Amino acid sequence: MEFEPLFKERNIQVNFVSQSDFRIKMNMHLAGILINNLFSNAVNHNVINGSISIQADQNEITICNTGPASELADETIFDRFVKGNSKSYGLGLAIVKQICDTHHLEIHYSKNEFHCFRVSQKM
């Protein structure tokens, strides 16, 4: 896995829980970009000795990570060029949002103890 060196370097624990497969009909290449961008975000905005939790069921997939308090507002987090740190171009989550919109998926961000992104089919 391409992220494994970062997990080891930053001592990030990854937990995956799947109650069932989240299956949707969409372009396989764009699905890869969607998941890769969310996972990259979870790694890059995490803390040393942090964790990433991935949960999936037939209705949604959720990727959560530990991390510092975010300076981003919930309503602008998916806008282009909005970024939480200077190492980012601020495009990854805008791309995720556009892929979701194109494939009739919903993307939601929440922050409590963890920063979480939930992708689900529009009802």
Residue 79, pLDDT > 60, answer: yes
Task: List the CATH number of the domain containing 111.
Answer: 3.30.565.10
* Owning domain of residue 17: 4-121
Q: What mean pLDDT, rounded, does the chain reach?
A: 86
Q: What is the pLDDT of residues 108-119, one digit of tens each?
A: 999 888 999 999
Extract the tokens encoding 71. 């300076």
C-alpha to C-alpha distances, 37 to 19, 55, 90, 93, 123, nearest whole angstrom: 23, 16, 11, 7, 24
Number of domains in the chain: 1
* The residue type at 70: S
C-alpha to C-alpha distances, 76 to 32, 64, 101, nearest whole angstrom: 24, 19, 16
Extract the tokens encoding 15. 């937990």
Q: What is the pLDDT of residues 61-76, one digit of tens each?
A: 999 999 887 656 566 7
Residue 1: pLDDT band (50, 70, 90) is low
Q: What is the pLDDT of residues 9-31, one digit of tens each?
A: 899 999 999 888 888 889 999 99
